[in-house]
Amino acid sequence: MSDLSENVMVAPRQQRRFLRFAHVRRREWQGLLYVAPWLVGFLIFIAYPFVWSIQLSFMDWKGIGTARYVGLDNYVRMFTDDEAFLYSIRNTVAYTAVHVPGTMFLAFVVALLLNERVRFMPLFRTLFYLPSVTSGVATVVLWVWILHPTGLLNRTLGLIGIQGPNWFGSTTWALPGLIIMSFWNIGTTMLIYLAGLQGVPQQLYDAAEIDGANALQRVRYVTLPMMTPSIFLTLVLGIIGSFQVFTAALVATEGGPGYATLFVLLHIYFNAFRFFRMGYASAIAWVLFLIIMLFTALQFWLASRWVYYEGERAG
């Protein structure tokens, strides 16, 4: 290497240019080599299945035997001849409509509190965040126990004279039960807000205070506008995640009772891996994907009306 650079020093002009060129080419090849693992993995585990799933969605196939192209039949069928699918859309939308704003509201209030300077703040922060790292089957099972007909929640409701429902055994209360369970898991949203709150300049609060704004007004007219980029981010991520709710419902209710908690991803799972309707399930997966993309695009389009980016400090 050092020999080479000494040669470059004494080399005539043309030769020097050639060496520079060779050096650039070598760097290019090296760069490609470094990203090659990702590219190979992307082609095998993402791009190829992605393309295949489009093809599958136009087929009737049990996973074995001959596959048959059926055109748009799968797509037509889910809207005309599949009651469960319509329920799954309804449930997913209902869940999202309560879960996403509810989580955002709770996380925002907690973040505001956690942004204050009081003693033991690291402890409080940890306690509010902990449920999000342990999220998974274990906590779903825990909440099945808490929402048991004679579980902790109904016992607590009993103390104030309310006869609690049989949450996951009831077609009316199973979905609200899952939503209550989801409100335990606000940590990620809360952390995003907390990071956003740290970025709100103190001068703005000082100025508002001089103008006579009280605490609530400061939140409404200073904090909220400055936080719109964080709020936007959590709204987009929240809806994407909420449309794919799966584990909680599968473990707690298996989609029941009846169709009460059948979400779209559960419907895909049952069709693909219980009934082996690979084509039909792929078509539903695509409809779900398109709905998610549509909602996301819509939000980016609406964002310019309410999200405030402060110059280069965009969040």
Partner 1 sequence: MTVETNWDEPERIRPLSWRIVVVLLLVVGSLIYAFPFFWMLSTSLKIPQNIYLDPPQWIPNPVAWENYSLIFDVGPVWAWIANSTLITVATVVLRTLSSLVVAYGFARFAFPGSRVLFILLLSSLMLPGHVTIIPRFLMFRDWHWLDTFWPLIAPNFFSTAFAVFLIRQFLMTLPRELDEAAEIDGANTWDILWRLLLPLSKPAIATVAVFTFIDGWNDFFEPFIFLSTPDNLTLAVGIRWFRTQYETQFHLMMAISVVSVLPIIIAFLFTQKYFIRGIALTGLKS
| Residues from 258 through 287 that contact partner 1 (CB under 8 A) | 265, 268-269, 272-273, 278, 281-282, 285-286
Residue 133 touching partner 1 (CB under 8 A): yes
Angle (CA) 243-183-135 rounded to 5° is: 75
Contact 167, 261 (CB under 8 A): no
Per CB under 8 A, which of residues 195..214 are in contact with partner 1?
195, 198, 202
15 or 126: whose CB is closer to partner 1? 126
Q: Which of 72, 127, 224, 297 binds partner 1 (CB under 8 A)?
A: 127
Q: Which of 38, 161, 212, 301 binds partner 1 (CB under 8 A)?
A: 38
CB atoms within 10 A of CB 221: 14
Question: Residue 16's Cα: distance from chain center in Å?
Answer: 53
CB atoms within 10 A of CB 296: 16
Q: Cβ 41 to partner 1, closest distance in Å?
A: 2
**Strand pairing partners for 73?**
none
Residue 80 touching partner 1 (CB under 8 A): no
Residue 250 touching partner 1 (CB under 8 A): yes
Q: At 71, is the secondary structure helix, strand, or coil?
A: coil
14 or 160: whose CB is closer to partner 1? 160
Q: Which of 10, 13, 14, 34 binds partner 1 (CB under 8 A)?
A: 34
Question: Residue 255's Cα: distance from chain center in Å?
Answer: 20
Q: In whole angstroms, how large is the CA radius of gyration of the chain?
A: 27
Residue 69 touching partner 1 (CB under 8 A): no
Residue 96 touching partner 1 (CB under 8 A): no
Residue range at the interface with partner 1 (CB under 8 A); choices 75-83, 96-104, 121-129, 167-175? 121-129
Q: Cβ 18 to partner 1, closest distance in Å?
A: 19
14 or 263: whose CB is closer to partner 1? 263
214: alpha, beta or left, given left = phi > 0 and alpha = psi -120 to 50?
Answer: beta
Residue 20 to residue 174: CA distance in whole angstroms: 68
Residue 79 touching partner 1 (CB under 8 A): no
Q: DSSP string of 195-209?
A: HHHHTS-HHHHHHHH
